[in-house]
Amino acid sequence: MKVNATYVPMNNHMVFAAVEADDMKTVREFAFQSRLGQWNTIDIYQVSTLEEALTKVNELPTIY
């Protein structure tokens, strides 16, 4: 797993981490091992770049 960036809003107990990993299990384990859940709610979102998403959408057949 690779941590690409971390961000802290500075006005609350939040930390954002942009990571790359082969699977969600690796990211969940990172979140667990980091112990951030002791002070924060952990939400994990699997995302793609806008370019990747648009490429996928263009591959879909037209339904109308």
Q: For residue 7, tell me if it sits in a domain.
A: yes
- Is it the case that residue 21 has pLDDT exceeding 80? yes
Separation of first and last alpha carbons in the chain? 41
Per the listing, tokens 């809003």 go with 9
Q: For residue 49, tell me if it sits in a domain.
A: yes
Q: For residue 43, tell me if it sits in a domain.
A: yes
- Is it the case that residue 45 has pLDDT exceeding 90? yes
Query: Which tens digits make up the pLDDT trace of 23-38?
Result: 999 999 999 998 988 8
Q: For residue 8, tell me if it sits in a domain.
A: yes
| pTM of the predicted protein model | 0.69
Per the listing, tokens 């941590």 go with 3
**Total number of domains in the chain:** 1
Q: For residue 64, tell me if it sits in a domain.
A: no
Q: For residue 36, tell me if it sits in a domain.
A: yes
The lowest-confidence range among 9-13, 24-28, 42-46 is: 9-13
Range of the domain at 52: 2-59
Question: Would you place residue 52 in the very low, low, confident or very high pLDDT band (cuts 50, 70, 90)?
Answer: very high
Q: What angle do CA 26, 27, 28 make, to 5 degrees?
A: 90
- Is it the case that residue 13 has pLDDT exceeding 80? no
What CA–CA distance (Å, rounded) separates 64 from 56? 18
Closest alpha carbon to 1 in 21, 17, 16? 21
